[in-house]
């Protein structure tokens, strides 16, 4: 499990706010953010970009045998979401009684991810909810 660290703080914006970046040279969007554009190879015109959090389920699966940290929430659904702005993002899909299916529209929500250690530190992360 990841402890509070410089690395965790660097990922803060991506994890909590769905902030990636865009290459202003070729208009390719990235999440998580990249240093060098995979499309045109430039690194001089990468600008921070706030993603809307809206997208569609590209694929999904239900986890019945979870990692230790997620055992409280099993079974749960994880999926790959194709954001409206292009990038694919992995995330938990909140089950709300609506059918989880490929192509269904989702939006980003902010939810508890897991409770860490004996101190019971609650970790949050973005998840996706069916609209
Ligand atoms: Zn580019």
pTM of the model: 0.82
Q: Of the given ranges (16-30, 61-75, 76-90, 107-121), which has the lowest mean pLDDT?
A: 107-121
Expressed in angstroms and rounded, the spacing between residue 24 Cα and the centre of ligand 1 is 7
For ligand 1, an ion, list residues with CB under 5 A. Answer: 23, 25-26, 28, 37, 39-40
With the C-alpha atoms ordered 83, 43, 10, 49, is the resulting torsion angle positive or negative? Answer: negative
Of all residues in the chain, what percent carry a pLDDT higher than 70? 89
Q: What is the pLDDT of residue 120?
A: 80
For residues 26 and 40, is the Cβ–Cβ distance under 8 A?
yes
Question: 96 falls in which pLDDT band (50, 70, 90)?
Answer: confident
Expressed in angstroms and rounded, the spacing between residue 40 Cα and the centre of ligand 1 is 4
Question: 117 falls in which pLDDT band (50, 70, 90)?
Answer: confident
Expressed in angstroms and rounded, the spacing between residue 46 Cα and the centre of ligand 1 is 8
Expressed in angstroms and rounded, the spacing between residue 35 Cα and the centre of ligand 1 is 11
Residue 1 has pLDDT above 50, yes or no: no
Expressed in angstroms and rounded, the spacing between residue 11 Cα and the centre of ligand 1 is 22
| Measured distance CA(64)–CA(117) in Å, rounded | 22
Q: Which domains does the chain possess?
A: 1-51 (no CATH), 52-131 (2.40.50)
Residue 23 has pLDDT above 50, yes or no: yes
Expressed in angstroms and rounded, the spacing between residue 51 Cα and the centre of ligand 1 is 17
pLDDT mean over 68-75:
86
């Amino acid at each position: 499990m990841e402890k509070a660290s410089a690395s965790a703080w660097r990922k803060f914006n991506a994890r909590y706010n769905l902030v990636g970046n865009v290459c202003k040279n070729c208009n390719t969007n990235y999440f998580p953010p990249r240093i060098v554009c995979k499309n045109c190879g430039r690194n001089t015109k990468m600008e921070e970009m706030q993603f809307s959090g809206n997208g569609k389920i590209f694929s999904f699966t239900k986890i019945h045998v979870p990692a230790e940290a997620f055992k409280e929430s099993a079974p749960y659904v994880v999926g790959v979401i194709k954001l409206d702005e292009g990038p694919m993002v992995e995330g938990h899909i909140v089950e709300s009684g609506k059918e989880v299916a490929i192509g269904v529209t989702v939006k980003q929500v902010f939810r508890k991810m897991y409770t860490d250690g004996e101190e019971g530190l609650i970790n949050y992360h973005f998840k996706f909810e069916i609209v």
